[in-house]
Chains A and B, each alone.
Chain A
């Protein structure tokens, strides 16, 4: 079933050239909905149990012991569901698109397979293959359907993240060579961490930089604002909603369990890098006049919380319950950020579709002409700044409580400082609402008509899910908790 989930979009993408032009968007929507239903079915069947389910292990390159090994657990399932949901939303959102629809659909279905495959991969080489293909896919999305200085943005995106992926590959080969016998299999590498001492530190450096560029953490975030600004709305939503998670997912799935000694040793580095991301992302976002850049920088801020929480989880001297809470919060934040930021980028896309710009100063009083848009924007903004009752609050509360609560001086101080990030985020989103949605009319405001039906159908489910997680997070947390307990135990091994 998992293989079907992963490969179905790709199979349909290959068949899409034969589909009549008018049926292309509907085929795309149907496939993504079927895939979403299959993922939900898998989640329901897996329940809240621990361990790996739906495993497939086929030999691929046996001489280096790499295989097509996939499976799901409490960490994969929420991310697979998020991926399927966001891709379905993008399919619905793109219903009105007219420019090269067929190619767009093929590329997105390809990307869906790649993203789903990555979150299900249990083999380092397979993980890397999907990691690299996601870069290629997104490069073409930005290059062919982007706007502004898209050629340059796409090139910067490709070069920067490709460098990250190659450094990551060196780290993976380090893990491979450290294991005895040599293997790329993640399950075996997790069972017996292969390296210790200096080599482990270097490997963590390579893996950390590789995943850090993708996440992105400050100072490796400079590829992100141009890529997000010039990508089409659906591309930005996938890039921020799904592909940024590849970095943090890799930290939880690969770096922490496979290099526990090194992770504990350098936990302070991750704490500080996370804190810098939180504060820097929030402050720079505050200074933006371009709405899409602003959302891009809040991603730096939100991903910073995740790195912060994972750093705190490495403090072996801290309270184990609190560290578990931090990891659970980190995974919840991944899901929450995916939903909310995906919605925010799609909303930016609505503005660009109508008015052809993102400049905050030229909008104002949108609420009068487009009340539904204004309401959706307000909900998304509040979800992003972490208002109770929405998913961001659940995630950030757990992260901060876990970080501060694990009881060591370093985590307490960084956690307390990170709270300031929430304050700045609140300020900047209120400023956006104040200037663009309320306030006096701007020069572009008359162009902004209200959201159309496909846009509404794409946006409402994302924000509704955020609300569901905010009000009744139990189903999500119950799935994640066995996993976070396992990760904390793995990273605490000596």
Chain B
């Protein structure tokens, strides 16, 4: 039994920063809330430092419910890094907003829930983490208090509540037939349980996690929230909660290995990537296009999840792909924030008007396709390898065909970049720098994949 709170230092840093930010926000004058994002960023940086240090130590289990292992390390670092990027992206936009401090605190709390999703080895903690990750995000989606934002928040909330209740039912069923909620107990318990009950519980549990992951059939909120919420929030909800959801899915699959896991998840993966790609074809709004692109990427990410426990390649594939996806997606959203345009036509001539921004977008979009030497390329190679090694060659072929199909809509966004500029460029230094950093990181992760995988 290990109950040392220091093992959860990164999570505590985020919590402390959130609480400090909330307190500071209550006492600071409305117009001068800049210390709040500073406190939040400091908390995230401290969390990153602790997480990095923890990654060098051997794995352990804390409070019988939190696994501190490779999955946790990658989840922590990716979530903290992505959240930091989102806070920086949002800082300029919400400066002086009446609810500025609330904005940052909600982001931090949702990130905290996401990390817990990825670390929990117990169904009850999983449910608590799900709620913590979701509820702040509902509020964030409607942060703008405008019509599209309200609709997005409502849709997000209703969908999340419905699938969350389903998930709770699934947890009840699984813990009932499995005689426990901790994964090691469930592994033994589920093996002897009635298959029909296990299957029903599994499907219900998946409903909630697939909603968080933005995968079919829980993906209906993705385009509306991405389009309706403020851009920085859209970047957050399409990136960060997914990281935790995929980690949770993988951990559950690998540690309890229920019957039929691979078959069920493989079908969901194939359906998700195909649906996302088909829906992205006709989009003229870049945020909706990115939304459907995240759905299709979720499909690829589900491939290693389906192969959990079947091949040694599944875990590196998932972890690498998740990090690569987060970097690439944040880069693309940073470009959207910097350019300040949502229609495809608004990107005409971007490469001439702002070469750095245009080049970053090209790198990120080609990265989504999986062009070497970007990070997603390595993730995709590992993903294909996992599918073939796990005896799901058909899934690898479906993923390959989907990748080719996805090229079409990413290129639809790239082509206008080379046209003549329509007007003078907007100045958005912070977001531009972030986009360039993400593009560089994507290339670096691709080229230095060896070092990243070894860690």
Which A residues fall within an 8 A CB radius of B?
59-64, 125, 128-129, 132-133, 136, 143-144, 151, 155, 158-159, 162-163, 166-167, 169-170, 173-174, 176-177, 202
Contact = CB atoms under 8 A, between A and B. Distances in A.
Contacts of A166: 400, 403-404
Contacts of B401: 163
B385 A129 contact: no
Interface stretch (B42-50, B177-185, B326-334, B371-379): B371-379
Contacts, number: 74
B411 A177 contact: no
A136 B400 contact: no
B388 interface: yes
Interface in B317-375: 366, 369, 371-373
A177 B400 contact: no
A155 B372 CA distance: 19
Given A63-B450, A169-B400, A170-B397, A133 B372 contact: yes
5 contacts: A61-B450, A62-B454, A129-B373, A173-B396, A176-B385
Given A61-B450, A162-B407, A177-B389, A167 B400 contact: yes
Contacts of A163: 400-401, 404
Dominant SS among interface residues on chain B: helix
A473 to B, nearest CB: 37
A236 to B, nearest CB: 20
Q: Shortest 9 CB-CB distances between A and B: which pairs?
A: A129-B372, A166-B400, A163-B404, A61-B450, A63-B453, A61-B449, A173-B385, A62-B450, A173-B388
B449 A177 contact: no
Given A132-B371, A170-B384, A143 B415 contact: yes
Interface of B: 313, 316, 366, 369, 371-373, 377-378, 381-382, 384-385, 388-389, 393, 396-397, 400-401, 403-404, 407-408, 411, 415, 418, 449-450, 453-454
A382 to B, nearest CB: 40
A136 B415 contact: no
Given A158-B407, A173-B381, A63 B418 contact: no
B55 to A, nearest CB: 16
Contacts of B408: 155, 159
A77 B340 CA distance: 51
B383 to A, nearest CB: 10
Nearest to B418: A144
Contact of A170 (B372, B400, B407, B411): B400
A59 B451 CA distance: 10
B308 to A, nearest CB: 18
Contact of A132 (B372, B385, B404, B418): B372
A147 to B, nearest CB: 15
B145 to A, nearest CB: 42
Contacts of B454: 62-63
A17 to B, nearest CB: 9
Contacts of A144: 418
Contact of A143 (B371, B377, B400, B418): B418
Contacts of B366: 136
Interface centre among B366, B393, B401, B450 (most CB of A within 10 A): B450
Contacts of B313: 64
A159 B388 contact: no
Given A128-B372, A136-B371, A162-B407, A151 B385 contact: no
A174 B388 CA distance: 7
Interface centre among A64, A158, A163 (most CB of B within 10 A): A64
